[in-house]
Amino acid sequence: MTGLKKGTGSLDFDSDEDDAEDDTSSESTPASEDDDESSLQEEDTSSTRETTSQAPDLDVNDLPYLVQRQMRGASVNADRTNQLLLEVRPFVKADEDTFLADLQDLIDGPVYKGDAREAALVVAQEHPELVAEKLTEWGIEYLDK
């Protein structure tokens, strides 16, 4: 047993070359134009290969959170394993739609409610002075300490 599949030993490479010569002589396009086109195609292919090989390796963990989530095809709540029960006054809930619309205008695209709420909480955590200012407006200084 030779290890080759049946029929592979009967290939006649010489006949392919003869056929190729016959095809070339019967074509109406001059050979120089074909050579020019094929060299242009080779240049395009080689420049594409160079560009591809020069591209840095992409680490998904370096991408922003929302991009990572979308690339994984995960749902909005996929990474949100902790729930916060947040009871709000009626005006806060009523103004949420306006907040989301304003946010979408600023972003110039759709924004999920969960993303907007979480981002608002993170901004508050990063800027407690803004939260303190709002609490002062609400009269926190008059409460028993």
Is residue 111 left, alpha or beta, with left meaning phi > 0 and alpha meaning psi from -120 to 50? beta
Give the pLDDT score at 136.
98
**Could you give the number of structural domains in the chain?**
2
pTM (whole model) above 0.85: no
Look at residue 59 and tell me if it is in a domain: no
Look at residue 20 and tell me if it is in a domain: yes
pLDDT in tens, 61-90: 889 998 998 888 988 888 888 999 999 999
Domain of residue 36: give its range.
16-50
The listed range with the strongest mean pLDDT (9-18, 48-57, 133-142) is 133-142
84 and 136 inside one domain: yes
Average pLDDT over every residue of 94-107? 98
